[in-house]
Amino acid sequence: MDEEIVGIDEVGRGCLFGPVFAGAVLLNKAASIVLLKEGLTDSKRLTPHKRAKLVPLIKSFSIDWSLGQASANEIDSLGIRLATEKSMLRAIHGLSEQPSLIMIDGILPLRHWSGDQITIAKGDSKLPAIAAASVLAKEARDDLMKRLAINFPGYGLDRHMGYGTSIHRTALSKYGPCKLHRKTFLRKIIPDDFSVQLNSHRSPYSRAENLLSTDG
């Protein structure tokens, strides 16, 4: 296998709010060794401080890197799998050169990708390039959630990053969803009347959607 490996991973697939992100990172063996010594591993196993410290190192030592995202609207209209695949394809297409082989975290293949690919279960804890992609995507998405928390007060986005925690569910019960919530994810969580409110009421937070068009 070529020593230069492109790793792909997604973040935010299971969230109730906002986009799903994907990272693509091209590493060689030397960069992988350096980053592993700096503590690189699956982003879920790292503290926020450690992830933030790794981001500039990954960007510096990687041969190339890119991020992609798919919006809540795309998730609702396409379904989470296809939307996730779109975020991955956008990350790959953001690389300066299109890779001949990609390594993807998980067991599902990336459809609509014409090149060779290998899926690796728990790849973010096994392959440095996938772990690096996981860290970049996680930090980028978390940063966006923290900024959107200012425009979407009351949901606690800076605390749970859009996941379906008890805090988030309580806020949804109290305030109902906003336009950046994934409506298809909320059907079993909130009453139908909130969907009516969402369709008939213009969100006071719509200016926050501008943030989504400038990231990734």
The domain segmentation of the chain, as residue ranges, is: 1-216
Question: Do strands 116-120 and 101-105 pair parallel, antiparallel, or not at all (unpaired)?
Answer: parallel
For the record, the structure tokens of 149 come out as 């928390």
What is d(CA 175, CA 106) in angstroms, rounded to the nearest whole number?
35
DSSP-derived secondary structure for 140-203: HHHHHHHHHHHHSTTS-HHHHTT---HHHHHHHHHH---TTB-HHHHTTTS-HHHHHHHHHS--
| Residues 6+ away with beta carbon under 8 Å from 156 | 149, 165, 167, 168, 171
Pick the CATH number of 1-216 from 3.40.50.1370, 3.30.420.10, 1.10.260.40, 3.30.70.270: 3.30.420.10
The pTM (predicted TM-score) of the whole model is: 0.87
Q: What is the pLDDT of residues 113-151, one digit of tens each?
A: 999 999 999 999 999 999 999 999 999 999 999 999 999
* DSSP structure class, residue 17: B
Q: Sign of the C-alpha dihedral, residues 33, 92, 80, 56?
A: positive
Q: Three-class SS of residue 126?
A: coil
Amino acid at 74: E
Q: What is the pLDDT of residues 60-110, one digit of tens each?
A: 999 999 999 999 999 999 999 999 999 999 999 999 999 989 999 999 999
Name the maximum alpha-carbon separation found in the chain: 56
Distance of CA 63 to the CA centre of its chain: 21
Q: What is the pLDDT of residues 46-65, one digit of tens each?
A: 999 999 999 999 999 999 99
Q: How many CB atoms lie within 10 A of CB 140?
A: 20
